[in-house]
Amino acid sequence: MQFFGRVDIDGRTGIMTVRLKDAGNSDLWSVDIEPQPDGRPGQLLAQHI
């Protein structure tokens, strides 16, 4: 099986959503990360399994 990742960034909020997908394009895992203007690592907003 092949798996792939996808990253989307909301242009309005700046929230980055990272997804791991299977060969059928179904989400296996995803996480939302909030942007940090001061350069610190983003705070984890939500994790979906």
Q: Can you give the pLDDT at residue 47?
A: 67
pLDDT digits (tens, 9 = 90+) for 34-47: 887 766 666 666 66
Domain boundaries, the chain: 4-48
How confident is the prediction for the chain on average, in pLDDT? 84
Q: What is the mean pLDDT of residues 17-31?
A: 93
Sequence-separated (6 or more) residues with CB below 8 Å from residue 40: none
Q: What is the mean pLDDT of residues 3-32?
A: 93
Token pair 């994790």 is at which residue? Answer: 47
Sequence-separated (6 or more) residues with CB below 8 Å from residue 35: 14, 15, 16, 42
CB atoms within 10 A of CB 42: 14
